[in-house]
Amino acid sequence: MGAMGTRLTGLDAMFLYAETDAMPMHVALCAVLDPSTVPGGYSFEKMRQKIDERVPLIKEFRRTVLEVPFRVNHPVWVDDPQYDVAHHVHRAVLDPPGDERQLAAFVAEMAQHRLDRGRPLWQFWVVEGLEGGRIAVVGKVHHCALDGGAAADLMPAFFGIEPDPPPIEAPEVDPALRPDDLAMLSTAVTDRARTLVSAAGAVPHVARALRTIVTRRSETDTSGGTPLMCPTTPFNGAITSRRAVAFGRLALADVKAVGRAGGATVNDVLLATCAQAFRTYLELVDALPEEPLVAAVPVGVRRNEDRGDMGNKVSVMFVPLHTELRDPAEILQATVRDAEAAKREHAIVGGDTIMRLVELADPLTLPLGTGVYSRAGLADRHRPAINAIVSNVIGPPFPIYLGGARAERLYPMGPVVEGAGVNLTVMSYDGHIDIGLLTAAVLVPDPWVVTNRLPGALAAIADAVAADTAGS
């Protein structure tokens, strides 16, 4: 749209349309930092200035989302003439002792509030008072602006590889001025007609892909997960806005060692470890189903030429989580088998198919539908579409710094959705796997029960795989 702004894709816009008071649609990151490395010493004002200096590297951080008249097409990004960093970077102080659970409670409180659509869709908090003199920077960005891959690509804009990086030069960015309603309406109608014609071809493709998957499943013993046919668990049901958050950490070397011994990828090992921890939780609340859970696992489909771009380039595959199995070695073997089947089925559907399909979403009726669904609590009245979301983001393998402060941990978090109140996101960072577990508190009020069991679950899988290897 040139100077009139950039239109959101259907997938980006879907995260706006799906949002309700009970279901804010932002991604979040909690970076625990050591401020002793800040050149000249830490202060909140200095940290906010450092963040503000880097905002121009991400044009969407100075733009707002503008709806098209009568919602005849998806919204557009336009420049915010009122942009002020004071609206976006805030200071908070934890009460003593400032431990990890207090930090998680702060993040949960932050996560349950929607971002103001009248301003650029991001906010950071610099949190002081953590144990050991640490600070944290807690940020949230609306999902319409980025997915996990874009979030990882975004990190170099704010984080450097040294405490005192050289000054940055902001790139030249074309202005995205607010257009008049008539010009915006005219362009929106033309664009909508073009994208609908292009997207319509995805419908018969999906039908053919589903027939192929059904045939393949009948001919083999393996399959991915089946959405809409999931067991009912305490993870599932109607949600409210209240959130609970817990953190965890695993050693990347330990995860890789289990993978080598068990013939599994890092992702397979993490999925199996999650299944073990989820099983323990479900046993504790006496609600362990006899069939496996189904996890929605986001899959990045970002091409090399898309690197550094904001927006969503993501698909999803459905993977069984074998909570019904007791033996950790069996859980890993079943996960390797079924995750591979899920990848094959995802390839049959096609990585860009979801992005094409959601272009058909109606900007007028879809937000009304999601609002009614949420207010009526309809997620309590049918089998879950999925049981949980489990996401894996590749982070930097070396130490990074924000405003001169060394990042010690990077806890990522994604949103929960109506009907599935658990989102476990992991990010690799500097030899570790950092884990952020965000839940709908009405369904899972104490997610620490899960994250505290992840190290033991990984150790149990390692021991079981080692025993199998020794016995074979």
The DSSP secondary-structure symbol of 70 reads G
361, 13 Cβ separation under 8 angstroms: yes
194 lies in a domain? Answer: no
Residue 285 within any structural domain of the chain: yes
**How many contiguous H segments (helices) and E segments (strands) does the chain have?**
13, 16
pLDDT digits (tens, 9 = 90+) for 252-261: 999 999 999 9
CA dist list (Å): 267 to 45, 85, 295, 387: 40, 38, 13, 18
Last residue of a domain, one of 154, 189, 224: 189
274 occurs within a structural domain: yes
pLDDT, residue 1, reads: 42
State the angle between helix axes of 365-375 and 10-17 in degrees (0 to 180), rounded to the nearest 10: 40
Rounded to whole angstroms, the Cα distance separating 321 from 378 reads 25
**Do the domain assignments include residue 404?**
no
DSSP code for 57: G
Calpha distance 161→82 (Å, rounded): 32
Residue type, 315: S
Tens-place pLDDT, residues 48-58:
999 999 999 89
| 405 domain residue, yes or no | no
DSSP per-residue letters across 412-463: EE---BTTB-EEEEEEEETTEEEEEEEEETTT-S-THHHHTTHHHHHHHHHH
- Residue 2 pLDDT more than 60? no
Buried b / exposed e along 415-425 (16+ C-beta atoms within 10 A): bbbbbbbbbbb
Let me know whether 168 and 224 are in one domain: no
Same domain, 170 and 277: no
> Which is higher by pLDDT, 20 or 9?
20
What's the total number of domains in the chain? 2
Look at residue 304 in the predicted model and tell me its pLDDT. 66
Q: What are phi and psi of 268, to 5 degrees?
A: -60, -45
Identity of residue 369: G
pTM of the model: 0.93
Q: What is the pLDDT of residue 470?
A: 72
- Which of 141, 166, 189 represents a domain boundary (last residue)? 189
Nearest to 297 by CA among 243, 224, 241, 370: 224
Strand pairing category for 401-402 and 159-160:
antiparallel
Residue 217 shares a structural domain with residue 286:
yes
Query: For residue 90, what pLDDT is reported?
Result: 98
CATH of the domain at 114: 3.30.559.10
When pLDDT is cut at 50, 70 and 90, the band that residue 307 belongs to is: low
Owning domain of residue 304: 203-395+412-471
Which residue type does 310 have?
A: M
On average, the pLDDT of the chain sits at 91
- Relative to beta strand 122-128, strand 89-93 is parallel
Q: How far is 58 from 204, CA to CA, in rounded Å?
A: 37
Q: How confident is the model at residue 171 (pLDDT cuts 50, 70, 90)?
A: confident
What pLDDT does residue 335 have? Answer: 97
What are 122-159's pLDDT values in tens digits? Answer: 999 999 999 999 999 999 999 999 887 777 777 888 99
Q: Do 219 and 165 share a structural domain? A: no
- Asked, for residue 403, whether it belongs to a domain, the answer is no
Asked whether residue 237 falls in the same domain as residue 383, the answer is: yes
15 & 158 share domain: yes
Mean pLDDT on 64-84: 92
Q: What gap in Å lies between CA 472 and CA 454, rounded to an integer? A: 27
Residues 378-392 have pLDDT tens digits of 889 889 999 999 999
Q: Is 377 exposed, middle or buried (0-12, 13-18, 19+ CB in 10 A)?
A: middle
More confident residue, 93 or 471: 93
- Point out the catalytic residue in the list 74, 143, 322, 432: 143
Residue 255 domain-assigned? yes
pLDDT of residue 3: 55
For residues 166 and 259, state if they share a domain. no
Residues 223 and 181 in one domain: no
Q: Is 141 helix (H, G, I), strand (E, B) or coil?
A: strand
- CB count within 10 Å of CB 214 equals 11
Do 92 and 237 belong to one domain?
no
Q: Please give the average per-residue pLDDT across 274-292, as a whole number.
A: 97
Summarised one tens digit per residue, pLDDT across range 310-320 is 777 788 999 99
Report the distance separating Cα 368 and Cα 361, nearest Å: 12
Active site residue 143: yes
pLDDT band of residue 305 (cuts 50, 70, 90) is low
Digit-coded pLDDT (tens) for 175-206: 888 888 887 887 877 887 777 766 677 778 87
Is 218 within 8 Å of 210 (Cβ atoms)?
A: no
**Whole-number pLDDT of residue 471:** 65
**Other C-beta atoms within 10 Å of 99: how many?**
12
- Write the CA distances from 427 to 13, 57, 362, 390, 436, integer angstroms: 25, 23, 34, 11, 9
The CATH code of the domain that includes 223 is 3.30.559.30
Cα–Cα nearest to 320, from 296, 345, 293: 293
> What sign for the dihedral angle of Cα 10, 347, 305, 58?
positive
The residue ranking higher by pLDDT, 149 or 336, is 336
Collapsing DSSP to helix, strand or coil, 34 comes out as: strand
Same domain, 92 and 222: no
Q: What is the mean pLDDT of residues 258-270?
A: 97
* Rounded distance between C-alpha atoms, residue 235 and residue 386, angstroms: 10
CA distance 457 to 271: 11
User: Which helix (H) or strand (E) is 124 found in, with range?
Assistant: strand 122-128
Q: Could you tell me which residues come within 8 angstroms of residue 114 by beta carbon, excluding any fewer than 6 positions away? A: 19, 21, 24, 26
Q: Are residues 170 and 246 in the same domain?
A: no
- 158 and 222 in a single domain? The answer is no
